[in-house]
Structure 1
C-alpha cells in the first residue's frame, strides 16, 4: 500500500509541475506534448501563481506519482465559478490505490473554499477506468465536444 500526500502547487513549485508533466506524458503516452516544449520557469511561475489555475500533485516522498491540472472559470450569470479538470493522471504503478480520488477530493475542498458550484471533467469512452472513477464521483452528461481551430496570426508588414 502506498503512502502519499496531496499538495496544491504554488508559484515556487515549478520543479514539481515539471515532474507532473512527466507523469502526464507517460500516462497519456504522449511524451512530445508534455515534454519537448516545456514552459519557461517564468511562465510556470506566473501560471502557478494565478488565481485561475489549480495544480495538485500526489507525492510519495519526493516522487510525484500523480496529479491534476484544473481551471477555475468565473461565471457571468451569477457570482460563482465552475472548475474544469483539464488533465488528471496517476503513474501506472500507483493506480487503483485511491490517488485519483484523493486528488479530486482535494479539488472539491478547494472548490468549496472558492465558491465553486461544480467541478466538471471530460472522459473518452474507451478509457473505462476514468469513466468508472468519474461515474463513482459525479453525474454523467452526454455531450458533444468540438475543437474549433484558431487561425494563425497574420504577420505585420
Structure 2
C-alpha cells in the first residue's frame, strides 16, 4: 500500500467510489486550490482503496489545528490498516504544518471509526452536540 497527497482532480474522480457521492467538478477544484486543504489516497497497486481529507483551521486565540473532514476505505480493503495509515499520515502533515492538534467527530455507535481513531493515537474528549444549518433548504 502507498499513500499519496492528491493535487489533481483526475485522481479524485478516479477514486469516486470512496466518496459518499460522485465528486463535483467545481467543488473538487476549489478544495484542491485552497491552502490548508489536504486529500490523501491510499493505493493497493494502482487501485485507490482509501481516502482521507483534512482542513487546517485557524483561530486567533488558538492557533491552527487539523480537522479530519472525511475518512473512507473500500469494503474489500477494510481491517488491513488502511484507515489507520491514512489518519497517521494526515497527522504527520498537520505536525509539519505547525498544527497544535487534530480532531474529528463521529457517531457514538460507529465502533469501526472509533477504533481506528484510537489506534491512530486519538484520545476521547467529552461528548458534544452537533447543530446543523441546512442553507440549501433555507432552514
Same fold (TM over 0.5): yes
Question: What's the counterpart of residue 5 of structure 2?
Answer: 8
Over alpha carbons, which structure has the higher Rg?
Answer: 1
Structure 1 residue 149 displacement after superposition? 3.0
Task: Verify: 1:18 aligned to 2:21, yes or no.
Answer: no
Q: Is the 8 A contact 2:87 2:117 kept in 1?
A: no
Structure 1 residue 127 displacement after superposition? 1.5
Structure 1 residue 22 displacement after superposition? 1.7
Aligned residues: 136
Question: What's the counterpart of residue 110 of structure 2?
Answer: 127
Question: What's the counterpart of residue 49 of structure 2?
Answer: 65
List, as ranges, runs of 4+ consecutive aligned residues in structure 1 with deviation greater than 3 Å: none
Task: Verify: 1:88 aligned to 2:71, yes or no.
Answer: yes
Question: What's the counterpart of residue 109 of structure 1?
Answer: 92
> Secondary structure at 2:128's aligned position in 1?
coil
The two structures have a TM-score, normalised by structure 1, of 0.78
The two structures have a TM-score, normalised by structure 2, of 0.87
Structure 1 residue 52 displacement after superposition? 2.5
CA RMSD of aligned residues (A): 1.9
Q: Is the 8 A contact 2:58 2:65 kept in 1?
A: yes
Structure 1 residue 44 displacement after superposition? 2.5
Give structure 1 stretches of 5+ with no counterpart.
26-33
Q: Is the 8 A contact 2:53 2:70 kept in 1?
A: yes
Structure 1 residue 61 displacement after superposition? 2.0
